[in-house]
Amino acid sequence: MKMVKAIVRPEKATEILDELSNAGISSATRISILGRGKQKGLKVGDVYYDEIPKEMIMLVISEDEVEKVKSIILGIARTGKKGSFGDGKIFIIPVESSITISSGLEEN
């Protein structure tokens, strides 16, 4: 199993979740977050924004779904053909196991 954490622009999150669901991947967590990347915030006129609103989409999927999920997220989250600063980041992390709380069943 793999955990995918995608940090994306807020206006892209719903479209990503809809497309993932259409592809048969419906279990996901969506969290509103604040952060900054390599650009260290954003300056508009005289105002500096140290933290920028983003959405984090978190999924635990099988290894054979990783490429499909990456492709969907990249295809929707990237702005324009080359992308731009602030489009986000995808993290893929190994998951040792998960336990369903209601049933106590463990998956490896």
Q: Does 18 score more than 80 pLDDT?
A: yes
What would you measure as the largest C-alpha separation in the chain, in angstroms?
54
Task: List CB contacts of 56: < 8 A, sequence separation 6 or more.
Answer: 5, 6, 7, 8, 29, 30, 31, 33
Residue 35 pLDDT: 85
Residue 39 pLDDT: 72
Q: Does 108 score more than 90 pLDDT?
A: no
Classify domain 2-107 at the CATH topology level: Alpha-Beta Plaits (3.30.70)
Query: Structural domain boundaries of the chain?
Result: 2-107
Q: Which of 4-18, 24-38, 63-77, 91-105 has the lowest mean pLDDT?
A: 24-38
Residues 25-69 pLDDT 10s: 999 999 999 988 777 777 778 887 788 899 999 999 999 999 999
